[in-house]
Structure 1
Amino acid sequence: MTKDILTPSSGDATKALAAGRASLILELEQPPRPGSVRFERAFTRLLDMYFQTRVVETGADRQKIALVAVGGYGRGEMCLGSDIDIIILCRRSIPPQAIDVAQPLFLPLWDAGYSLGHGFRTIADCVKLANKDHKVLCSLLDARFVAGDSSIYEELQQRMRDKVLARREKAFLQWLDDEHAERLATYGDGAVLLEPNLKEGVGGLRDYHRLLWLARLRGATGDVNGVMRQAGFSEDDCQLLERNVDFLHRVRNRLHALSRRKSDKLYVDIQPELAARMGYADTTGMLAVELFLGDLHRCMGDIKALAAAFRSIMGDASEHADAVCASSSGAVLVQDNVVHICPPEALIENPALILQALDEAVVRPDGATPVLSWETRQTISRLVREEPERLTELEGVWPTLVRILTSGRAFDIMEQMVGVGLLSAFMPDFGRVRDRVQFDGFHTYPVGQHTLFVLSYLESLPKEQHPVFTPRWEKLEDVTVLMLAALFHDLGKGGNDATSHSVKGAAMARAQLALWGVDEALAEEVAFLVEHHLLLARTAHRRDLSDESVVAQCAGTIATQERLDLLYLLTYADSRATGPKAWNQWSASLLSELYGKVANMLRDSTLATPLSARTICDTRKRVGELLMQPESPVSFEEGEPMLEHLPSRYALVVNPENIVRHMGLVRELGKEIKDAQRRLSEERAARGIVLLDPRPLEGRQSDVWELVVVARDQHGLFATVAGVLALHNLKVFSADAFVWRDGTVVDVFHVSAPPDPLYPREFWVKVRGSIQYALTGKLSLEYRIDQTRDQFPKPHRGRNDVSVVIDNGLSDFYTVIEITAPDRRALLYDVARTLQAMRLDILFAKIATLGTQTNDSFSVRDTYGQKLLDDDQVTEIRNALLHALQQ
């Protein structure tokens, strides 16, 4: 930063401010340099010099006023997008010429585009407002003299101490606690969210401001280090807070520069560029943005813990270790729901006291879980940092962990253990992945916090009374295996090893449990659950659940009903803890369907072929009965011939009521084709005529709709429907394609709800028209879809993995093509068009979009109705798909 920018001539304050700010913004485009002046401090100095110079230039220094900075400007934290909050302070009354003083100061700033929060106030006004409004009190606690008559500012400070601070402490503390709870509910915990709010989220800058206000309420003065020392924190604590606040400010300023506005929520799309500007680079196995987010979450977690500890100390001095431990030594004491090790330094000599402290948290009566005192937390953190091997080798960890995991308080206790690094010391593999963030738009939390939430969802089942999962939880005689599997399930994430994280995690679980001397049989059960914790979710989302071989493979792997129940519970908790894109109405229904089919197969101890034949016969019989009913959409005479055209898979998958409904659609299709034949040839008449039957799966407000498409078999039908759905902004979750023996096509799609819930009928009429136009050459799907792609910004990609796997072993009847690629608009259309260009019949498709990545599965057969057995054909299909995916 050049000296002439910081010391402008008295006649050029406005230009000097503009030049100085421009120079600072250029610095934000570069990674931070060691020893460089923090942006917010330098920007604050520029503004101070502007006001000081303008006060002299305009003669305002001869008036009885003081310019007082408040809010962020008062704290010296002027970020790029911050408002300039300043008060023109008068002693007794506001002079008539006040407007003449204000205009020369503020108009140049308005003209330059700055946001100002300003006002005229007397000392009495400030005192009165501070006594009534805690937000005003906060801003005045940050007050700082800038220019003018300093004696007026000093009188304000004295009046605030005498008339406000001494009287408002109790009410102000309660207001701060309420405000903190409201921020948590509104903005969430920034220390664990993928898109944290840097200012208002818990662990953000507002927690630091809260710390400052608490200290100044008690009369502390000076910078952050002075405030912390006066509150009794160590030099290491002071430096920790200063480093983290500095880091958060650097992130926030670069966020303002990138977004070109005052924005405090760190959205996913902007994170990669921000990571680059912060100086991060990709490493082996880790993206730069993942490294950045790991550091950011650690930073916000530290600020959250420091602010909470400071609030605890300010609220009750008896929580200091010195006061509690005055008459004890080498003991664990609990006072006011706070666990103290007395004195904290005793831990250095006897680390086993940590286990005693954790046991105290477990055995407390029902109610709030006790928390470790700040002094105890800091001593544990120091031991973890300086001598981790003493904790890794500590005896008695295993029984203590089991008591915690089965206590019903696992989340609350382990959250504290994670915060001080204790769980990482006990389980080094956990420490390696604790702060790892999967930048894929699908996982909402870092691995460590995700693991804690999995434990939380499991142990909350008795209170939640979930109709499906609570009864299965209550059936378990011992939850130890399940809770251990939840603790270990993601240890294998990260690194360059191509082995799946589930397999690596199982090996890590075995090794860790062996170190603790755990019974081998129990360890193997835990390892099984870890290795297969994705089995149910992946099968449900990517496989044709009507294919008996799919269910048989799943049942063969699981082997017992007890394991199935454990995996079902673990899958539920893991999906919910991943985020809303992993657990919703659709995923829950798929998982329930798979669970039921696997349970039936395990119970009957037989494969399904005889059962399938009986099911088909029962279905045909039931359809015949329904056709005899008066409310049937088709008569028995019309429907009975249709029964002969039904393919076996259709009769196995579709229930009888829906088959009769589809028959009604097929009859209507025949009428429309006959009508068209009066004007066109038989071949042309059927081209483009389609009927749609859309309906929500779960009531009018359902997020998932079933769309039945009925038409005569014609080339490109499936791809055309997929393209039209994309054109109308509908997301496809799955698709079933059935071709009756007479050439009638019945495709069943599960899609997202129409964009406008008030007019669904009109919407589906437009969709039908688009399909007909596309099939008859009146609408170019490729052109229209490319247009929509150009209109929407390309979403940011996480890991750009593209793969095509063609497998003949997953099904007895089809070849399964699995596709992994970055998600994009109309991807299903591109894939379907490629497959149909290769003359493949798509019989089933499952679409699983995981954030920015899609994992789709297609069950196909060749033009002769066979699996793909020609190696040259398989290679050609794979290359064609890779080409389409990489466009």
Structure 2
Amino acid sequence: MPEKIPERAAAQLAFPGEVPLPERVAACREFLRREQEGLRARHAAGGGGRQICRERSWMMDALLGHLFDYALRTYAGPGAGSALPVTLVALGGYGREELSPWSDVDVMFLCSQKIARNAAQPLREHLSQQILYPLWDCGLKVGHSTRTIDEAVAEARRNMQTKTALLEARRVAGSQQLFDTFTQAYRAYYTGENPKDYIAARLDDQSGRRAKFADTVFNQEPDLKNGVGGLRDYQSTVWMARVRLDLTRIEELSDLNYVRAEEVAEFQRAHDFLLRVRNELHFISPRATDVMSLDQQPRIAEELGFAGADPLAQVEAFMQEYYRAAQTVFRVSKLVEDRLALSIGRGSGERRSFKDTLLAARFQRARRLDGFIVRGRELAADQPTVFKEDPVRLIRVFRHSQTLNAPPDLHLRELIRESLPLLTREVAASADATVSFRAILGEVGAVEPVLTRMHELGVLGRLVPEFDGLTCLVQHEYYHRYTADVHTLSAIRELDRIFTAAEPITLKYREALHETKDPALLYLTLLLHDIGKAEGIRGHAESGVRLALPILERFGVEPNDRELVAFIIKNHLVMARFWQKRDVDDPGTAAAFAELVGDAERLRHLYVHTFCDARGTAADLWNSYKDTLHTALFRATLDRLKLGQEADAAPLRKKTMTQQQLITQTIPGISADEITAHFGLLPDRYFVHTDAAEIALHLQMVNRLLRSITTADSVGSLRPVIEWKDDLNRSLTVVNVVTWDRAGLFYKLAGAFSVAGLNILGAKVISRTDHIAIDTFYVVEPGLGPVQSAPAQDKFARIIEEALMTNRDLLPDIVAQARKIAATRYLQVSSGEALQSSFPPTVDVYHELSMQRTIVEVQARDQIGLLYRLAKAISDHGFDITFARIGTERGVAIDTFYIEGANHEPVVGPERLEALRSSLNEVIAAPVTTSA
């Protein structure tokens, strides 16, 4: 039992006389082991988060108390140690008794200034040796300082972090009198200062920290401590209330009308739940950590007893509870912060209630509109009955806020929450409500902040009940970073930026939107595009159409526009899949996509929607390379829709014009005959998106390869010609390789890039009929973009020469490279802990009739050498790769290959395709690190 902790500590840690350090460390370890086991058992039995943290703090009190007593006794002699004016003080989380199972322990040795200077240093060294060394040997992480009272106050003046830590100082052992003197001195210090600077600094810290998490609690992998609505939000509220209002208990906030008593109770319950979750996270890790990864969430849900038909349902139930708790912490902490900010607005240091602050604000100059008052930069209610008089004002208030650029003030926000029952289905479906909401969506460039505020206050869910199903909905997909509701609002924010931002990347999307009949219609499309996820992720596009059509009709959207919105919702994933998995340089790709979309209006909406959807999914999901592919498909398809069958003749005209251009201009060392031969030896698809400069480079590389036959021995003539060129616009490096075509060329090139530590984003593979291969790879240095490392380039060249000239197997080198990579760089998952639905490994091999292509699509966990082994398996089955698109999203490889037979014929035999599929499934099932 926890109340027996002091007794157990006395039995194990009361060292008689002087005891060697190893014996004391062994006793301390055994004490901690037994107490930690008991702590975990009480946690598993349902122990509250706060209670378990208190008990671990009591464990540390008992341990540190005995070590402290031993240290003083061995320093001053039996009976004299208790007279030394020294106090062991707990700080921070330890001071407030909130130690999770593996949390750091912060302490201060408080020394009286009466201790002689010549005695202070030996005493400090003795305390460190006898207390800190045993703790470190036990594996504890201990922060420590030694200060006098004056030194502590002086450090608090210099450092806000120290000032905050000392607010929670608690005596563990030693002189009570010295600690009481410190407490009085420190309270006199922080109550004597004007609290404005501290509150302002803390508010800035809160704002900056939350911005790192996109100002939302709905992150897919939440940070329990520093995330929005996390433990730091709760703690900061306590700290600011202590400094500004001199409160010792959070409950006193309701006495001063800063929050209601029931809100304080909700605040505390949510805080307890967060602590319980963090305790579980520490136990299963087992280490100090605050980030709940996707892979840990199923086990946490199971251990905390959340019910569900399967692990996925358990996780959803658990995460929804977490998000509710985090929302509560964020809402209440933000409410207190806003009111504290108002309370220091006049710069005075007197203690004032929020009611006093609110009354003072009423004397500001005001302007009245539709039952509201515009005062300064905020919107307020003229009377508490404003919504009872006209419930549609619950919608109009946000339209007024939008047009006046005046957010609702604190009182109005609370009044909106309290008035939600007035927003019935009948009111929400009324013509006035519909007109107001459509007007909000029509204010292009300024929509997301208003919708977010409507969502936070509960109005959006009342107006569009179908959207409420997305609230707190966890998306178990590897590329999503936010819950479904926050993702939707983030996508709408991206659309706002297209209309308002000066970023070069947004200009072409703005132009595309201005070519549409109603650019604002896309706001409604984005709002509804994922609404089907409320019924399940799988098939959500189709179910989304079914749910969206009645909403569109309810909002009075015209039939033609309803059809357009429904089309985009149904196909909102298709455009990205096209350019991720197909060759955008192939005219057949644009032809197939043009047939799907049907007209330019749909294409433009889908083009912009896909961009906003991706950028609203995760900040790092979109890059210049993807943007280039996306825009290339858009423009090629737009040309196809405009020109129709005439588009088929365009590539031939371009090829002829480019050939004449290159013959007319002089390419050093290249004759007109060589140019003519080059154009006759390559398939037409090579010339579609290969510009004159790139063709000229290839001609020179081919020339160098052919000349090597006469200047090198038979082995040397196999050496490839390699050229590196940085593409800063796409933040990658283009690597051109020209060599003699041979079986397995692609997988050897892929393997050489892996051994050199470079990532492949994509590849185009082409061969002349005289068996000269021209392969183009788009590569990056991991995390750095274009390849700036000369050693990496040299290593690639050396490795590929050896592989081609000696037929060397690169797999051992790939395994060696994999072992050098830090484990955190690739997704490591313990068996049974991962949400397999998030990362379904799949292999699909099929013949695309419309394009006359045989296509291989692979989705698997990424790892060093995966591409090498996939390409080798394809080669071993007698197929050549003519195109590859290589993608990696948050640890998952998404690779697509076009393949053909050795004689360039399409592969259609089902037996051969099934055999290849089986081999590729074996590849993705066996990690490279276990295959050597």
TM-score relative to the length of structure 2 = 0.84
Distance (whole Å) between structure 1 residues aligned to residue 334 and residue 165 of structure 2: 21
Instruction: Report deviation, 1:237.
Output: 1.5
1:659 aligns with: 695
Distance (whole Å) between structure 2 residues aligned to residue 461 and residue 205 of structure 1: 35
Deviates more, 1:64-73 or 1:332-341: 332-341
2:708 aligns with: 672
1:480 aligns with: 520
Distance (whole Å) between structure 1 residues aligned to residue 514 and residue 469 of structure 2: 34
The equivalent position to 1:432 in structure 2, one of 469, 482, 499, is 469
The question of whether the paired residues in 1 share the 8 Å contact of 2:651 and 2:687 is answered with no
Name the aligned partner's letter for residue 721 of structure 1: L
Distance (whole Å) between structure 2 residues aligned to residue 29 and residue 636 of structure 1: 83
1:5 aligns with: 5
Distance (whole Å) between structure 2 residues aligned to residue 674 and residue 776 of structure 1: 17
* 2:711 equivalent to 1:698: no
2:31 aligns with: 19
Structure 1 residues 633 and 272, CA gap change in structure 2 (3 angstroms): farther
The question of whether the paired residues in 1 share the 8 Å contact of 2:720 and 2:739 is answered with yes
The question of whether the paired residues in 2 share the 8 Å contact of 1:225 and 1:242 is answered with no
The question of whether the paired residues in 2 share the 8 Å contact of 1:284 and 1:495 is answered with no
2:739 aligns with: 711
Aligned-pair identity in percent equals 24
Deviates more, 1:798-807 or 1:56-65: 56-65
Distance (whole Å) between structure 2 residues aligned to residue 461 and residue 547 of structure 1: 29
Instruction: Report deviation, 1:587.
Output: 0.5
Instruction: Report deviation, 1:36.
Output: 4.5
Deviates more, 1:718-727 or 1:856-865: 856-865
Deviates more, 1:253-262 or 1:295-304: 253-262
Name the aligned partner's letter for residue 556 of structure 1: E
Name the aligned partner's letter for residue 833 of structure 1: K
Deviates more, 1:300-309 or 1:160-169: 160-169
Cα shift readout 1:657-680 (whole Å, capped 9, x = no counterpart):
22221121112112223445x557
The equivalent position to 2:92 in structure 1, one of 58, 63, 71, is 71
2:52 aligns with: 39
Matches within 5 A, 1:261-660: 261-266=287-292, 277-279=303-305, 283=309, 286=312, 292-316=318-342, 323=359, 332-335=372-375, 337-341=377-381, 351-364=391-404, 366=405, 369-371=406-408, 373=410, 376-377=413-414, 380=417, 383=420, 396-407=432-443, 408-465=445-502, 466=504, 467-474=507-514, 478-493=518-533, 498-499=538-539, 501-606=540-645, 608-626=647-665, 629=666, 631-660=667-696
Distance (whole Å) between structure 2 residues aligned to residue 29 and residue 541 of structure 1: 50
Distance (whole Å) between structure 2 residues aligned to residue 387 and residue 13 of structure 1: 64
1:781 aligns with: 810
Matches within 5 A, 1:23-102: 23-24=35-36, 27-28=39-40, 32-36=44-48, 38-52=51-65, 58=73, 60-89=81-110, 93-94=114-115, 99=123, 102=127
Q: Tell me, what secondary structure is at the counterpart of 1:855? A: strand
Instruction: Report deviation, 1:474.
Output: 5.0
Distance (whole Å) between structure 2 residues aligned to residue 17 and residue 41 of structure 1: 20
Q: Tell me, what secondary structure is at the counterpart of 1:442? A: coil
Structure 1 residues 345 and 250, CA gap change in structure 2 (3 angstroms): farther
Cα shift readout 1:347-406 (whole Å, capped 9, x = no counterpart):
689754422432331231x4xx4145267448627957x998688667744333222223
Cα shift readout 1:452-494 (whole Å, capped 9, x = no counterpart):
1211121123431233233444555643311111111222236
Distance (whole Å) between structure 1 residues aligned to residue 778 and residue 431 of structure 2: 54
Q: Tell me, what secondary structure is at the counterpart of 1:816? A: strand
The equivalent position to 2:798 in structure 1, one of 769, 776, 786, is 769
Structure 1 residues 351 and 240, CA gap change in structure 2 (3 angstroms): farther
Deviates more, 1:106-115 or 1:133-142: 106-115
Segments of 5+ residues of structure 2 without an aligned counterpart are 15-26, 74-78, 344-352, 927-932
Structure 1 residues 334 and 102, CA gap change in structure 2 (3 angstroms): farther
Instruction: Report deviation, 1:313.
Output: 1.8
The question of whether the paired residues in 2 share the 8 Å contact of 1:443 and 1:851 is answered with no
Structure 1 residues 750 and 12, CA gap change in structure 2 (3 angstroms): same
1:208 aligns with: 234
The question of whether the paired residues in 2 share the 8 Å contact of 1:442 and 1:852 is answered with no
Name the aligned partner's letter for residue 533 of structure 2: K
Structure 1 residues 497 and 642, CA gap change in structure 2 (3 angstroms): closer
The question of whether the paired residues in 1 share the 8 Å contact of 2:862 and 2:891 is answered with yes
1:738 aligns with: 766
The equivalent position to 2:138 in structure 1, one of 102, 112, 116, is 112
Distance (whole Å) between structure 1 residues aligned to residue 431 and residue 484 of structure 2: 27
Deviates more, 1:534-543 or 1:584-593: 534-543
Q: Tell me, what secondary structure is at the counterpart of 2:743? A: coil
The equivalent position to 2:904 in structure 1, one of 860, 865, 880, is 865
Distance (whole Å) between structure 2 residues aligned to residue 342 and residue 6 of structure 1: 60
2:17 aligns with: none
Structure 1 residues 657 and 325, CA gap change in structure 2 (3 angstroms): closer
* 2:729 equivalent to 1:729: no
Name the aligned partner's letter for residue 273 of structure 2: F
Segments of 5+ residues of structure 1 without an aligned counterpart are none
Instruction: Report deviation, 1:412.
Output: 1.7
Name the aligned partner's letter for residue 898 of structure 2: S
Distance (whole Å) between structure 1 residues aligned to residue 914 and residue 658 of structure 2: 40
Name the aligned partner's letter for residue 525 of structure 2: A
Name the aligned partner's letter for residue 216 of structure 1: R
Deviates more, 1:587-596 or 1:528-537: 528-537
2:347 aligns with: none
Deviates more, 1:96-105 or 1:649-658: 96-105
Structure 1 residues 287 and 771, CA gap change in structure 2 (3 angstroms): farther
2:877 aligns with: 838
Distance (whole Å) between structure 1 residues aligned to residue 191 and residue 428 of structure 2: 48
Distance (whole Å) between structure 2 residues aligned to residue 241 and residue 234 of structure 1: 11
Deviates more, 1:294-303 or 1:308-317: 294-303
The question of whether the paired residues in 2 share the 8 Å contact of 1:348 and 1:383 is answered with no
Instruction: Report deviation, 1:697.
Output: 1.7
The question of whether the paired residues in 2 share the 8 Å contact of 1:711 and 1:745 is answered with yes
The question of whether the paired residues in 2 share the 8 Å contact of 1:581 and 1:851 is answered with no
Name the aligned partner's letter for residue 47 of structure 1: M
Deviates more, 1:867-876 or 1:545-554: 867-876
TM-score relative to the length of structure 1 = 0.87
Name the aligned partner's letter for residue 749 of structure 2: V
Distance (whole Å) between structure 2 residues aligned to residue 189 and residue 141 of structure 1: 27
The equivalent position to 1:248 in structure 2, one of 274, 291, 296, is 274
Instruction: Report deviation, 1:449.
Output: 1.7
Q: CA RMSD in A?
A: 3.8
Q: Tell me, what secondary structure is at the counterpart of 1:436? A: coil
Aligned length: 871
Distance (whole Å) between structure 1 residues aligned to residue 556 and residue 714 of structure 2: 83
Distance (whole Å) between structure 2 residues aligned to residue 357 and residue 35 of structure 1: 45
Q: Tell me, what secondary structure is at the counterpart of 1:492? A: helix
Q: Tell me, what secondary structure is at the counterpart of 1:433? A: coil
Q: Tell me, what secondary structure is at the counterpart of 2:532? A: coil
